[in-house]
Amino acid sequence: MDILCNINEKFFKDARILNSYLISGKSGQTVAFAKNFANAILSLGNFSRLEDRIESESHPDVLMFKPENGKYKVEDAREIVSSSYEAPFETDRKIYIIEEFDAFAPLAQNILLKVLEEPQAKTVFILLSENKDKILPTILSRVSEIKVQPASLNDFHAKLKEYEIDSNKLTYLYYFTSGDHISSSNILATEGFFDEKRSLLERYVNYLNGDGVALLEIADYFEKNNNFEIFASVLSFFLRDLSVYNIDKSKIFDQDSVDLFQAIDENIDFQNNILMIDEIRRRVKANVSVRNAILALL
């Protein structure tokens, strides 16, 4: 909220509300920031006025767009363009919050370029991205960027103290989510994350030590649970910590997995295993089932 107060002073005092912004940073934080920012714009700096309706995504003048299965369609871009010419319903502005803008293909981004170049006077576009390198330079040149920085480790612990979990687990989440307390809250709101993480990593350690059946068990796990992306990240993060553990044990982030690190053959091929996880992710995004994506690499 501190950065919003600065924005409030900078833009609202002089009525300088621009037509397009890029909010860059971790997705959970950028979404929360964008909603607060939209509230500030429509409320002219009075942050509490419309907060509940914007947070619940029920305000007719704040339109949220999210990619389906990590991808936008060209039709999504055309829908945004056509609707942007319609007048606001309740306020004097219409705000588009477009999550993961970098998930638009270049063709779709070019379609959106026109409304960013020549926006309606009362339309505000708030583009969100973790990877602005995938956004066309012509679009980047037309937006005002706001970078959302993660909280410090101490602030992160303070924000999540209500969950009453031990310090090691909170520190793990801090580095796992790059300090994104919103994403971490969502993880903690799902019961059993750390138990599932432990069970998955035990199977993965068995696989790394040569147990091929363990990989089949992992495939079965992903087939039954709709949480592939987050636990694929758990595996990648585990490999990162494992590589560090073999060099400097004091630098690992997951202190709860020390016994698992100790159980693994020191000669495993880290790079090959990281590439394997990346390839499985690529296939899943191409609509291959998780199980088939894993089994294809056996």
- Quickly list DSSP for the chain: -HHHHHHIIIIITTT---SEEEEES-HHHHHHHHHHHHHHHHTTT-TTSSHHHHHTT--TTEEEE--BTTB--HHHHHHHHHHTTSPPSSSS-EEEEETTGGGS-HHHHHHHHHHHHS--TTEEEEEEES-GGGS-HHHHTTSEEEEPPPPPHHHHHHHTGGG---HHHHHHHHHHTTT-HHHHHHHHHSTTHHHHHHHHHHHHHHHHTT-HHHHHHHHHHHHH-S-HHHHHHHHHHHHHHHHHHTT-GGG-S-GGGHHHHHTS-TT--HHHHHHHHHHHHHHHHTT--HHHHHHTT-
In a domain, 159, yes or no: no
Tell me, what's the pLDDT at 149?
Answer: 85
Which domain, by its residues, includes 56? 2-147
In a domain, 139, yes or no: yes
63's enclosing H/E stretch is strand 62-65
> Within this chain, do residues 58 and 136 fall inside the same structural domain, yes or no?
yes
> Within this chain, do residues 127 and 222 fall inside the same structural domain, yes or no?
no
- Cβ atoms < 10 Å from Cβ of 248: 8
Largest CA distance in the chain: 65
In a domain, 176, yes or no: no
- Cβ atoms < 10 Å from Cβ of 259: 9
- Cβ atoms < 10 Å from Cβ of 284: 20
Tell me, what's the pLDDT at 221?
Answer: 86
In a domain, 164, yes or no: no
> Within this chain, do residues 143 and 197 fall inside the same structural domain, yes or no?
no
CB 253 within 8 Å of CB 239: no
In a domain, 173, yes or no: no
> Within this chain, do residues 84 and 214 fall inside the same structural domain, yes or no?
no
Structural domain ending residue among the three candidates 147, 182, 213: 147
| Residue 120 tokens, joined | 């309606």
> Within this chain, do residues 215 and 282 fall inside the same structural domain, yes or no?
yes
In a domain, 161, yes or no: no
CB 29 within 8 Å of CB 182: yes
> Within this chain, do residues 6 and 143 fall inside the same structural domain, yes or no?
yes
In a domain, 269, yes or no: yes
Low-confidence ranges of the chain (pLDDT < 50): 1-6, 8-9, 14, 47
Q: How many domains does the chain have?
A: 2
Structural domain ending residue among the three candidates 112, 131, 147: 147
Rounded distance between C-alpha atoms, residue 213 and residue 211, angstroms: 5
Please provide the size of the chain in residues: 298
CB 146 within 8 Å of CB 3: yes
Structural domain ending residue among the three candidates 121, 147, 173: 147
| Residue 237 tokens, joined | 């993060």
> Within this chain, do residues 239 and 110 fall inside the same structural domain, yes or no?
no
Sign, CA torsion 277/280/284/290: negative
In a domain, 277, yes or no: yes
> Within this chain, do residues 138 and 28 fall inside the same structural domain, yes or no?
yes
254-286 confidence digits (pLDDT tens): 999 999 999 998 778 888 888 899 899 888 888
> Within this chain, do residues 32 and 112 fall inside the same structural domain, yes or no?
yes
Tell me, what's the pLDDT at 5?
Answer: 42
> Within this chain, do residues 111 and 194 fall inside the same structural domain, yes or no?
no
> Within this chain, do residues 262 and 138 fall inside the same structural domain, yes or no?
no
> Within this chain, do residues 136 and 195 fall inside the same structural domain, yes or no?
no
- Cβ atoms < 10 Å from Cβ of 169: 18
Residue 194 sits at φ, ψ, to 5 deg, of -70, -30
3-class secondary structure per residue, 236-277: HHHHHHHHHHCCCHHHCCCHHHHHHHHCCCCCCCHHHHHHHH
First to last CA, the chain: 48
Q: How far is CA 81 from the centre of its chain?
A: 25
